[in-house]
A = this chain, B = another copy of it.
C-alpha cells in the first residue's frame, strides 16, 4: 500500500492560553504527548511517511489550567447520522463530567442532529442534567434524536452565538466530523472562542486512525446472534442456505468479526475482497458444491460487498454517500436461478438484522469506552482545545486533529492475520477464486 501523503500534524488547535486553575485536584496533567510509534500497530506504521513517525500524539485527560471559567460555561451536545450502541452513554458521561467534576451548570441537548441548529426546522433544545440523564445508558438510540445531511455552518454559528454556547460536542460519523471542521472554520472566522470537540461514531468501525469505534463490540455481539439463527435455519431444512446481511458500506469489520466469533460461516463477503457470482470459481458454483457435499450453507454479506457485480452508476444520498445496490437480492435471485437450472433443491432464508443490531443498548465494554470518551471530551474542551476528536489508541486516550480522521476510510487489510483467520474459519478459499 502506498505511503500516506497526508500532512500529518498532531498539534491540536487551541483557543488561547488556559489560565483558570482546574477544580480537579487529582491526576492533573500538563500537556503530555506520546510518540506516534507507540500508538500505532506496525501495519499502520508501514503505511505512513517516516516524517510522521517522529511526531507525537497529545494525550487525553484533565489539565492543570482551564481556558473556560466553569461557572460561566455553557455546553451543547448534538448527535448526527445513524444510530449506534452507546450514544446515550457518551451523552451521559459528558453531562456528568461537566456537572459533577467541573461544576458547569448548563449543558444543552440540540435535538434532531445538525438541523436542530436551523430555525426553519423549529428549535427543540433540551436542558440536560445529571438527573435527566441518569438512566439513559440503559436505552439504545439517542435521546436527542438525530438526522443526516449537512447544514449551513453560518446558520449553525449564528445559533451557537444566540444560544451563547462555549463548547459544542459533536457525536457523529464521517459527515459530522467534516461538518465539525466547517463549524470550526466559521467560528474561527468570526473570532469567536467556541471549542468544537468531535466524538467519532461509526458502527462500521471504519474511521481512519480509530482502531475501535464505540458500539462496535455490541454490534458484533448482536450480529453473531443473527448468524447463529442463520445457522439454525440453514440446518433446520434440507439444502438450507442462511444469508445474513450486515452493516459495512466500505469496510466489512462487523461481518468479519462476527464470523470469527461464530465459526459457523461458510462464505464471508466484504467490500474489500472481490468475488464473482458466475463461473467456475464463482459463488453460485461454490454454494452448489457445498450444498451437495454438506447439505447446508451460511453466508454473511456486508452491505457494501460485490457492488461491482451490480452494474450501473451509483446514486448518492443527501450526505453524498453512494447509495448501495442490493447485493443480497442479487445473490438470492442468482442462486435461485442457478439451483433451478442445476435441478438442485435450495431453501434460502434471508436475515437482515441491521436495525436490531444498531438500536440496542451498549454492552459493558462499550460502556466503559463511552465513559472515557465523554470524560476526555470535556477535559479537552475545558483546556481550550478545539477542532479535534477524542479517541483511544492502544490503551491511552488521545487527541487527534479533525483532519486526521476525515481524510480517508479505514478498511480491512486482506493481507493481514485478521483476514487470514477469517478465511481459515470459513474455509471459503477452497471454493471461491
Contacts and interface: CB of A to CB of B under 8 A. Distances in A.
Interface of A: 26-27, 34, 37-38, 40-43, 45, 60-61, 83, 92-93, 96-97, 100-101, 112, 115, 121, 135, 137-142, 145-147, 211, 217, 220-221, 223-226, 228-230, 232-233, 235-238, 240, 242, 257-258, 260-263, 349, 351-353, 355-356, 359-360, 363-365, 367-368, 371-372, 375, 394-397, 415, 417-418, 420-421, 423-425, 427, 429
A145 B237 CA distance: 5
Contacts of A145: 235-238, 240
A356 B355 contact: no
A228 B352 CA distance: 17
Given A221-B363, A229-B140, A235-B145, A263 B351 contact: no
A259 to B, nearest CB: 9
Nearest to A258: B364
Given A145-B237, A229-B356, A421 B363 contact: no
Contacts of A394: 41, 394
7 contacts: A37-B38, A138-B138, A139-B232, A140-B232, A146-B236, A217-B217, A233-B355
A26 B395 contact: no
Contacts of A41: 38, 394-396
Given A83-B236, A142-B236, 6 more contacts: A83-B232, A138-B138, A211-B395, A261-B365, A262-B364, A365-B365
Given A27-B420, A34-B42, A355 B100 contact: no
Contacts of A229: 140, 355-356, 359-360
- Residue in A96, A139, A415, A417 with the greatest tally of chain B CB atoms within 10 Å: A417
A365 B395 contact: no
A242 to B, nearest CB: 8
B27 A220 contact: no
B45 A372 contact: no
A367 B217 contact: no
Contacts of A211: 395
Contacts of A262: 364, 367
A263 B92 contact: yes
Contacts of A371: 260-261, 263, 421, 425
Given A352-B352, A359-B232, A394-B394, A220 B96 contact: no
A122 to B, nearest CB: 10
B61 A238 contact: no
Where chain A touches its partner, the secondary structure class is helix
A137 to B, nearest CB: 7
Contacts of A97: 424
A355 B349 contact: yes
Contacts of A353: 353, 356
Contacts of A83: 232-233, 236
A197 to B, nearest CB: 18
A92 B371 CA distance: 30
A112 B225 contact: no
A417 B429 contact: no
A359 B229 CA distance: 5
Contacts of A258: 364
A146 B237 contact: yes
A427 B242 CA distance: 38
Contacts of A138: 138-139
Contacts of A240: 145
A167 B238 CA distance: 24
A353 B138 CA distance: 21
Contacts of A140: 228-229, 232
